[in-house]
Each structure stands twice: as C-alpha cells, then as structure tokens.
Amino acid sequence: MTAPVEKAEESAGAQMHALVERLYPLCRSITGDGVRATLDIVGEYLPLQVHEVPTGTQVLDWTVPQEWNIRDAYIADATGHRVVDFAASSLHVLGYSVPVSATMPLAELREHLHTLPEQPDLVPYRTSYYKPEWGFCLAQETLDALPDGDYEVCVDSTLADGHLTYAEHVVPGQVADEVIVSCHVCHPSLANDNLAGIAVAVFLARALAERNPYYTYRFIFAPGTIGAITWLARNRERVHTVKHGLVLACAGDRGDLTYKQSRRGDAEIDRVLRHVLAASERPHRITEFTPYGYDERQYCSPGFDLGVGSLSRTPYAGYPEYHTSADNPDFVSPEAMADTLAVCREACTVLDGNRRYVNLSPYGEPQLGRRGLYDALGGRSDTKDAQLAMLWVLNLSDGEHSLLDVTERSGLPFGAVAAAADALLGAGLLKE
C-alpha cells in the first residue's frame, strides 16, 4: 500500500518508471558491457565516476572474476525456428554461460534447461557465476511442448580477462562524513529487483543536489556481492567516514515498505527509518538484521560493522514474481517508486537535521519573549507545538540528547523540533 503522492512526486514516479523501461532490455551481469551500458544511461541523469577493476584483483577474501559478455544465444528446432531466443529476453540464458555450439537430442539438452514447474508460464532467472556451465531458462509450458528430436544449441559468449565495473556519484555536503546509498546493477531484465532501486537512487541523488545537505552523500552503483566487496576493499582506509548507509532494493512493487535494520540494530539510520515510517503512518514492517539478503550484509560484516540498513517494499523472495519474467515494468508502479523516494527524502532530512546541542542558559528557563522568539511565532497554525518544541529542545540540550531523542520523547514532529533548534541557535541560546 502506498501513501498519496504530491504532484512533484507523481512526476518523479513517471520519470523513474520511464528509466526502468529504458534499462529493462539490457543484459546485465556481475561484469561486462551490460553493466557499462546501464551506467551509461544512469550517467545521462547523474555525473558518475566509473571504476574498472581488472580480473584477478584480490578484493578482501575474493578475486575479481573474468568478464562475461554475450552477443546471441538460442535453441533452434530442425526447421531452424528458435524455440528459445536470447534476443526475446536476456533471462533466457543462464548467467555467465560459457560458449557452446552443438546439435544434441532433447534428452541431452534437458540437463541444461531451467524451468519453474510450479509457475509454468514464467521464465526463471538463474546464474552460474563461479562454475563454468552453460544453460537456458524457459517456461515449463514451452519445454512441455517441445517434441523429441535434435536441436541446435548456440551460446555466443566470451568469458575472458577483463574488468569489474562499478560507479559512484557524490553529492557534496557541509561535512566530509558520508551517507552511502547503494544499489546493485547486476540483474538482467528484472524491473523490481533491482531497476526500481537504481531509479530511486538516481532521483534521490538529484533531489539532494537541490539542497545543501549536511552530510556528503555517496551513491554506489555496483554488482551485487562482489561489487560491494570490491568497493569496501578499495575504500578500506576511508570507510571510517561512512556514518550511515542505506541499501535500496525491490523498491517499486505495490507492497508495503519494509526496513531491515543494520547489524547493530540501534544505529542512527535504524532509529531514523523507524521514526520516519511510524510518523508517516504508512503501513510498514521493521525486520531484524540477518546475514542474508542484499549488500547490507557486506557493509555490516563484523570487520566493518557499518550502520547500513536496507529499504525495500516486499522483501526479496517475498513475492511470486521474484526472479522470474513476471518481474517486468508492468509489475512496478510509478506511485510505489514515488512513495519509496518520499521516504528516502524524509529519512535524509532527519539524518541531516539530527544534531546534538548544548543549552547556553541551562539554569532555569531563559526568557524567550525578550529575544523575540515568541513574536516570531505569531500567526502560525502550529504556534503551540512550536513553543513546546522550544521548551523541549532547551530542556534536553545537554550534549547527550539528539533532536531525534527530543522528537521521540516529546511526541512532536521532527520538523517542529528542528525548526525550534534553529530559532534557539539563532538567538544565541544553543551551541552545537
């Protein structure tokens, strides 16, 4: 269920859906030209720093694999008709299939075919990244209709030394401390997992660029698992600057929002997302961290233990379209992506505004009237809340409590508390 969207968010939703549709036909994997083509399109929306890491590079406990590229693949019957065709969908080929050109009987071919018997009209998504194999994915009903006989099999691919490609976009902030926003770019024609996440990340970056954020925001577009591991390996010396982070995935289906907490469980990003989702009164779920899922498990590995959570709508494997041909652009909605984007923007607003202050007049309540603070509230519809927010901020500004602490304790909106802090700071009653 999505919340009602504003007109600007509705426009962003339509643009994000258009981006998903553009990216959908490309054949992505953990390496190769499909990733580069994807980043080329993202680069039309955001300036990117693209990194190419050579095959064989040691990255933590892993090694950058050989690069995979594919030009064509098919299974053809005796008449030459392609009964399975990579040109129709990139899902039809087992990811990282090694080259093959052969003719074989259906009985032998079956060993290399992948279907979903329980969803007979859908094509599954399957890969074999680290074991040299070849194969095809097809609908069970297509397989059932194939007569016995010989079939021509062709996978025109290369698996050779090359590079792993990932990209970054940085929105400069007032401080060097960073918030990372990460999404994976390795899945082929799957709209929710994870093209919707890419689209939301792109439009979040553009929204942040229109304001002057407190934190520096680093957007990471990388292949799943090996890409995040590569980024961590190459940024090990500066990873201490990452104060908060969010992994975006499955961001466009019509289910309720789900926030998976960081390994810490009480990281600031966890508190912020819990607050934003609760305050918005959206139906949502908060789940505990598990070392399975998307790249939050890399950022939250014990050696790094970064405060990184994951935001999605229906979680991975939680919807029947997951990793099938049914995860197409019709499955994701502009409204759902706009709703996910709105929550991300709200979370960034709270993160940026969540400071700790010290009351410079802590002995008794300072006189606010002679400082013009009450007069400044005249005519506001929320005058009472604004006055109360000032008193709460003054009372809890002891250097130990953040504005989010004040918000949770007072029950007032974060925006009112942050505005009160700004007013008190301007009147010389607070220091950061």
From the annotation, which residues make up the binding site for Zn(2+)? 187, 193, 323
Which candidate, 215, 187, 388, places its Cα nearest to that of 307?
215
Instruction: Compute the chain's Rg from CA coordinates.
Output: 25
Backbone angles phi, psi at 380, to 5 degrees: -75, 145
Tell me the two tokens of residue 145.
């209709």
Binding residues: 187, 193, 323
What CA–CA distances, in Å, run from 231 to 52, 163, 264, 370?
Answer: 11, 14, 21, 54
Alpha-carbon distance of 393 to 265, in angstroms, equals 26
Alpha-carbon distance of 176 to 157, in angstroms, equals 43
Alpha-carbon distance of 230 to 233, in angstroms, equals 5
Alpha-carbon distance of 150 to 302, in angstroms, equals 52
